[in-house]
């Protein structure tokens, strides 16, 4: 299969069935869901160690950060950013016992490593949300006498938190993959789109559904979280075409 796709990374995808240990099935489903949410790519087995690739990819592969299972997940993300196809081919897996005792996978430690990018984005988003929510609660009291004070407070709080969130995502989550001059305007466009959607949802929840503003705000943020993650990962901070290996 690999010789038919020299430009791709070929993944040996395990076929999960009744004999597959529960922790293998649960762990793989979780990481596959996280990978799909962050990259919009559907892989049936993100934890497979059976991977084939061209020798010309080696210099690029050794520069990918991480160790063990973290490296395996980072490799998949890196392929997506560098526009390298991921080809899936089914393989038969043999487990010696129901607990898969020969596996070196540590459920807690390695799950955290695998989900590191998603976790870093979550931390960044939670920090931005905390700043946004705190500013919103303060401003909504200060502007209570003004018409549309909920909308005004939401816009001002979003502008403040967006600046903080941009810097954290650029340097912490996506590790400075692109210069600020390349990402600032696209991020500003995303922030504006999120702000419009955020404000519409917030006004719908408060004015139409009668949900208190303090409760409607976090509900709105949760609904827009994955949209923001996907756009930043796939578009704004995505590596330029041609930054991957030359096959």
> Residue 74 is encoded by which pair of tokens?
């980072």
Tell me the per-residue pLDDT of 54-106, one tens digit each, with 9 for 90 and over. Answer: 888 888 888 887 776 678 878 888 888 788 889 999 887 765 554 554 555 55
Strand order in the sheet with 51-52: 51-52, 9-14, 86-91
Q: Residue 131: how many CB atoms within 10 A of its CB? A: 17
Tokens of 110: 């390695």
Contact 202, 173 (CB under 8 A): no
- Which of 114, 135, 160 terminates a domain? The answer is 114
What does the angle CA 185 – CA 190 – CA 191 come to, to the nearest 5 degrees?
95
User: Can you give the pLDDT at residue 33?
Assistant: 77
Q: What is the pLDDT of residues 172-228, one digit of tens each?
A: 655 555 566 667 777 778 778 888 888 888 889 888 888 988 888 888 877 877 677
Q: Are residues 163 and 57 in the same domain?
A: no
Residue 247, domain member (yes or no): no
Q: How far is it, in rounded angstroms, from Cα 24 to Cα 232? A: 30
For the whole model, what pTM was predicted? Answer: 0.47
| H-type alpha helices, 47-100 | 58-61, 68-81
Number of other CB atoms surrounding residue 113 within 10 Å? 19
Note the maximum CA span of the chain.
Answer: 70
Q: Give 166's pLDDT tier (boundaries 50, 70, 90).
A: confident
Q: What is the domain extent for residue 106? A: 2-114
The answer as to whether 242 is a domain residue is: no
Domain count, the chain: 2
Asked whether residue 50 falls in the same domain as residue 103, the answer is: yes
Encoding tokens for residue 159? 């502008």
State whether 128 and 79 are in the same domain. no
| Straight-line distance from the first to the last Cα atom of the chain, in angstroms, rounded to the nearest whole number | 17
Give a yes or no: residue 77 inside a domain: yes
Question: Are 54 and 75 part of one and the same domain?
Answer: yes
Tokens representing 199? 């404000």
């Amino acid at each position: 299969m690999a010789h038919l796709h020299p430009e791709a990374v070929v993944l040996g995808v395990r076929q999960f069935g009744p004999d597959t240990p529960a922790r293998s099935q649960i762990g793989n489903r979780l990481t596959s869901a996280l990978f799909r949410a962050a990259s919009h790519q559907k892989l049936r087995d993100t934890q497979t160690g059976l991977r084939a690739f061209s020798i010309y990819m080696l210099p690029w592969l050794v520069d990918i950060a991480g160790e063990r299972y973290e490296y395996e997940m980072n490799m998949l993300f890196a392929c997506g950013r560098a526009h390298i196809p991921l080809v899936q081919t089914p393989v038969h897996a043999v487990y010696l016992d129901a607990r898969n005792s020969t596996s070196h996978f540590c459920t807690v430690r390695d799950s955290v490593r695998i989900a590191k990018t998603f976790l870093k984005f979550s931390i960044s988003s939670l920090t931005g949300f905390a700043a946004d929510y705190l500013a919103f609660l303060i401003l909504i009291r200060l502007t209570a006498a003004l018409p549309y004070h909920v909308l005004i407070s939401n816009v001002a709080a979003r502008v403040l938190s967006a600046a903080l969130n941009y810097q954290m995502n650029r340097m912490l989550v996506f590790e400075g993959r692109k210069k600020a001059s390349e990402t600032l305007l696209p991020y500003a466009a995303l922030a504006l789109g999120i702000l419009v959607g955020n404000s519409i949802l917030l006004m719908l929840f408060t004015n139409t559904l009668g949900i208190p503003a303090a409760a409607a705000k976090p509900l709105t943020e949760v609904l827009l979280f994955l949209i923001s993650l996907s756009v930043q990962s796939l578009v704004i901070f995505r590596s330029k075409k041609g930054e991957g290996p030359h096959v």
